[in-house]
Homo-oligomer: A and B are copies of this chain.
Amino acid sequence: MTRELHVAVVGATGAVGQQMIKTLQERNLPIGKLTLLSSARSAGKKVTYNGEEIIIQEAKPESFEGVDIALFSAGGSISKALAPEAVKRGAIVVDNTSAFRMDENVPLVVPEVNEEALKAHNGIIANPNCSTIQMVAALQPLREKYGLSKVIVSTYQAVSGAGAAAINELKEQAQAILDEKEFTPEILPVGGDKKHYQIAFNAIPQIDKFQDNGFTFEEMKMINETKKIMSMPELPVAATCVRLPVVTGHSESVYIEIENNDATVADVKKLLADAPGIVLQDDPENQVYPMPADCVGKREVFVGRIRKDLDHENGFHMWIVSDNLLKGAAWNSVQIAESLIKLGLVK
C-alpha cells in the first residue's frame, strides 16, 4: 500500500494521546495528514509533529470527514458519541476506551495474539485494557505450545493509567509526605468514586469502581477481556488489581497452569525469548528481572522470575512488566493500525 493516509488522534492532550502522537512519529506509517482532536477545553493548543505545527481542534462528527484511521483515547463517553460518527464517514476507529470492548461485533485485538480478528471488524476495533494486553501477549506463546488451563494474576499498577492528573497527585503527595505537610487526596483510586486515598508510599487495592460481585471493573476487564482476546470463554481467570506509587509501568505476578506435564522452566524461557513483542529478562543469579522503572518508553513486554510451582507439576509463576502507556495503550493502538494496513483492510 502506497497511498498516504489521513490519521486522527482523539484525546490528543491526554497521557495516552501524547504517547500516540510520539509513537506515530517513531513508526513508519504512511501518514499524509494527521488531525489532532480534543475536547473544546483543550482545543487550540499546538503540537509539533515531524517538525510541523498542528493545532488541536475540538472533536465533532464532521472532524472525521476524509479520515482513514481514527485513534480514540478521550474517555468512554466521547468514544460512544463520536466513534459511530467517524465510522459513518468512512474511518476505521481504534478505540482505547472500554466503551466497545465486550461488544460481540467489535474485535478486541492484541496483534501478537489475535491479529486475524481484525478481518471481521465493522468499523470499530477495541484496544484492550492496559493490564490485560501485557498479560495476554506473554501468555499467548505458552497457550499455543502447551495449552492453558488457569490464570491467577495480582497486579502492581502505575498511576499514569489513571491519567495525567493522577501523576501530579502522586508527585505532590510524595513531596508533602517527605516535607511532613498536610495533603488532601482528590483523585485516586478512582476520580469519579466517593472516597479518595493517599497513593504516595501506599498501595490501594482498588482500580476502577466495584461491581456487585466484589471484584472491581478493572479486575473484571482483565478476566473478561483475556477470555475474549484468547477466544477461550471457559478459561478460568482471576485478578486482583492494585494501584501503586509508580508513575509508569504496570507489573503483574501471574500464576498459570498449562496442559503439558513436561515443560521445564528452560523450555518456557526459550519460548518467551523467541516470542514476538516479548523480552525475556530472567537471570536470578545476576539479579536480572523486569522492573517498571526499566520499562518506561519501551514498546515490548518484559517477562522474568519464571519458576515452576513447587507443588503443581503444570503450574508456573512469572512476573510481567510493560509500559502501560505504550504496549498497554498507545503502541498497541498504533500496532493495530499497522496490522490493518498490512492486512489490506484500509481501503
Task: Name the residue of chain B whose CB is nearest to the CB of A251.
Answer: B203
Shortest Cβ gap from A255 to chain B (Å): 5
Shortest Cβ gap from A237 to chain B (Å): 8
Q: A160 to B60, alpha carbons, bound, how many Å?
A: 53
Q: Is A24 an interface residue (CB 8 A)?
A: no
B178 with A245: CB separation less than 8 A: no
A293 with B238: CB separation less than 8 A: no
Copies of this chain, tallied across the complex: 2
A319 with B205: CB separation less than 8 A: yes
Q: Is A311 an interface residue (CB 8 A)?
A: yes
Q: Is A193 an interface residue (CB 8 A)?
A: yes
Contact of A289 among B205, B246, B287 (CB under 8 A): B205
With a cutoff of 8 Å between Cβ atoms, the chain B residues found around residue A307 in the complex are 213-215
With a cutoff of 8 Å between Cβ atoms, the chain B residues found around residue A304 in the complex are 205
Shortest Cβ gap from A265 to chain B (Å): 7
Contact of A287 among B156, B195, B255 (CB under 8 A): B195
Q: A319 to B293, alpha carbons, bound, how many Å?
A: 25
Q: Is A347 an interface residue (CB 8 A)?
A: no
> A31-63 toward B: CB 8 Å interface, digit per residue (1/0)?
000000000000000000000000000000000
A253 with B287: CB separation less than 8 A: no
> A293-323 toward B: CB 8 Å interface, digit per residue (1/0)?
1000000000011111111100101010000
A156 with B201: CB separation less than 8 A: no
- Top 4 nearest A-B pairs by Cβ distance? A236-B311, A154-B253, A154-B154, A210-B284
Q: List 15 A-B pairs, Cβ < 8 Å.
A: A154-B253, A156-B244, A174-B178, A193-B287, A195-B287, A197-B293, A201-B246, A202-B246, A205-B290, A210-B284, A214-B265, A214-B284, A236-B312, A238-B317, A240-B253
Q: Which residues of A contact B (CB under 8 A)?
A: 150, 152, 154, 156, 170-171, 174-175, 178, 189, 193-195, 197-198, 201-206, 210, 213-215, 223, 236-238, 240, 242, 244-247, 249, 251, 253, 255, 265, 284-287, 289-293, 304-312, 315, 317, 319
